[in-house]
Amino acid sequence: MATIAEPVTVPEPVIKKRTRSGDDLAPTYHVICWNDPVNLMVYVTHVFMKVFGWNQQQAEKHMMEVHEQGKSVLVREGAEKAEFYVHQLQNYKLQATMERAE
């Protein structure tokens, strides 16, 4: 036979305010490609496809941004990966830099 349990007061859970981890605070960087008159448009598109694995449409969109607006933000990454991408792009002689994201 079931018995009626005494009511129990469950204490309010203490929810600690979430603090940001070190990773959250690590700065991120925009990898930017800058325009110049010497790199061919088809070449720039090709390099974006190779380095980022983008399809032609996405690569062309960024290439046109570079061409028409003077620069394109290609990706936003942590320092190490942003540095890797800049190395890759500069191996192809594109004018690429990493700039701290806001």
Partner 1 sequence: MNLVKQAKGNWQYLLNAMEASLLKDLLKKFPVTGDVPARITKTDTDPKAAEREKLLNESLVEHRQALKRQAMDLLNANHFKKTEQDYRFTLTSGEREILLQILNDIRVGCWVSLGKPESLEPPTTFPSALERARHNWMNLAGYFEHHLVDHG
Contacting positions for partner 1 (CB under 8 A): 36-40, 42-43, 45-46, 50, 79, 83, 86-87, 90-93, 97-100
Residue number, 36 or 76, with CB nearest to partner 1: 36
User: DSSP letter at 1?
Assistant: -
Residue number, 76 or 90, with CB nearest to partner 1: 90
Residue number, 14 or 50, with CB nearest to partner 1: 50
Structure token pair of residue 60: 């062309």
Length of the chain (residues) = 102
